[in-house]
Every structure is written in C-alpha cells, then in structure tokens.
Structure 1
Amino acid sequence: MRYVAPVALAMLVSTASHAATVEHFAPEGVPASVTTAPPFSSAVMAGDTLYISGTTDHDPATGKPALDATAGAKIVLDNIKKTVEKAGLTMDDLVWVQIFASDLKNFAAFNAVYRTYFKGPMPARAFIGAGSLLGGAHYEVMGIAVKPK
C-alpha cells in the first residue's frame, strides 16, 4: 500500500496543473436557493485529469433535494455523469470518488444505484458520514477522472 503525504499530493496536483492545459467547466443546475453566482467550477480539466467539484442530489427541475436516498443517488450520479461526459470522458474514467452522506444508513441504497453506472473496474472511493449537507441533500459527491491514453 502506498501513502502519499498531503503536502506531496498538493505539490503533485499543483505541478500537473501548471504544466498542462487547464479548462474550467461552469456549474449547471445549481439551485438558486444555494447561490446565484457559484464561486467554483463544476470541474477543472488539467491535462488529462478531470477534478470534479462536489455536487448534491438536488433535483435540477425543482432545486430541492430528492425525496428519498435511492432517488438522491440517481440524481447525484447523473450529475457526475453529465460532468465527465461534458469533458469527453465516461464514468469508467473515474479513478477516485468521495461520497458524503447525511446518513450512513443510506450506504446500501447508494451502492445499489452506484454499481449501475460502471462497466469496468470500480474507482477507489470513500463513503463518509457528514451529518447535514447543503440544502438538505442526502449526498454530495466529488471525484477525479483521468483521460485514457
């Protein structure tokens, strides 16, 4: 098992982003109740690596969180899928995913939906109990995808 110290990881990310072409993707579907001018990019492509900002399970049509955890998992993963596809990648290009959950009891519900979004090997990931999330969301998901050579 390899361990990369946080400082070394930050230097690696910093070096990679300065040595490569960088493209920023503007957020879509952020509920107006959260902000009207989000102070972030939904994703940043640095070279062949896509860094995906956290996205929640707010329904794009209503701006409200999903009614239940299973519907929330589908909404948040659809958001991630749209983001990776906008960058010309697929869900199978994800190498790392971090899931923040308002309730750890939703682990099985999330996993049942999550499995359906991948054809190949699963990315590395973490599922973290976070307590309350922005706007009453069930989940916030972020990740990293790498363009295949």
Structure 2
Amino acid sequence: MPASVTTAPPFSSAVMAGDTLYISGTTDHDPATGKPALDATAGAKIVLDNIKKTVEKAGLTMDDLVWVQIFASDLKNFAAFNAVYRTYFKGPMPARAFIGAGSLLGGAHYEVMGIAVKPK
C-alpha cells in the first residue's frame, strides 16, 4: 500500500445506544500532528480534550460520564494525570480505574475509554 494511503481503524470512536454513549479507547496523540504528547501532563490534556470532543459531538458533556478507564504507560504519571483530570468536571466524578499498562499504541502516555449517559 502506498505511504499516502491510510486506512481507518476497524472501530468507531464512540457508539450511542439509546441514551448511553460508549467511548472507544482514545490516546494522547495530537489530532493536528498525529504524534503523542511530549510529556505526561500535556498528554493528559490532549487525551481529555479528545474525549471531551467525542462526548460533545454526541450532545453530552464531561459531567455525563459515569465510568472512565485510564490505561497509563507509567503509573508514576498518576498525580500528573489527576491534576489535569479534575479540571474537566464540575459535578460528581465518574467511577474510574487507572491501570498501568506498559507500552501503549504509538508511544502514547494514556489511553482512555468511558461511558456517558444522557440525563433524563
């Protein structure tokens, strides 16, 4: 395949089923460059901005997230991630897991997935 031809990944970035949005694993690759963030703090902002865009595209907000799972390339980044993460929510925080995953796709610091529910 020529280098100029790219293929889409075999999954959706998110799927809405009824009032529930299922968000696929999203990394801290900069949408403009396709490269991972230079450091863990910048990576947290990029990945959460990417999640926020996905949630908002579905007509929801970050506060509609009920469950978030974070895979981290290094557990030492726990505090750096949390410092950024707190700024994305106004209401109660979603249930969450922070998992050390070792090497992530494309050199990412984080891969985040989640579930959001449309309020009644």
TM-score (norm 2): 0.95
Equivalent residues, number: 120
TM-score, L = length of structure 1 = 0.77
Shift of residue 109 of structure 1?
0.2
How far 1:139 sits from its partner (Å)?
A: 0.1
Structure showing greater Rg: 1
Equivalent-residue separation in structure 1 for 2:94 and 2:63 (angstroms): 8
Deviates more, 1:126-135 or 1:57-66: 57-66
Question: Contact (CA 8 Å) 1:55, 1:76: kept in 2 or not?
Answer: yes
- Where 2:79 maps in the other structure, the secondary structure is helix
Alpha-carbon deviation of 1:36? 2.2
Shift in Å, 1:62: 1.1
The 1-side partners of 2:113 and 2:67 are apart by 8
- Which residue pairs with 2:98 in the alignment? 127
Superposition RMSD in Å? 2.8
Query: Does the CA contact (< 8 Å) of 1:99 and 1:142 recur in 2?
Result: yes
How far apart are 1:31 and its partner, in Å?
Answer: 16
Please state how far the C-alpha of 1:37 moved relative to its aligned partner: 1.4
- 1:31–1:63 CA contact under 8 A, matched in 2: no
Long gaps (5+) in structure 1? 1-29
Residue 33 of structure 1 and its aligned partner are, at CA, apart by: 10
Q: 1:49 to 1:62 in 2, by over 3 A?
A: same
Distance 1:146 1:115, change over 3 A: same
1:95-115 Cα offsets, whole Å, 9 max, x none, are 000000000000000000000
Quick check: 1:31–1:60 contact (8 Å CA) kept in 2?
Answer: no
Task: For residue 74 of structure 1, report the CA deviation from its aligned partner.
Answer: 0.2
- Cα separation, 2, equivalents of 1:31 and 1:83: 30
- Higher RCO (C-alpha 8 Å, min separation 6): 2
Name the % identity. 99
Distance apart, 1:35 and its partner CA: 5.9
Partner of residue 60, structure 2: 89
Structure 1 residues 55 and 34, CA gap change in structure 2 (3 angstroms): farther
1:79-135: CA deviation from partner (whole Å, max 9, x where unpaired): 000000000000000000000000000000000000000000000000000000000
For residues 5 and 74 of structure 2, what CA distance do their matches in structure 1 show? Answer: 21
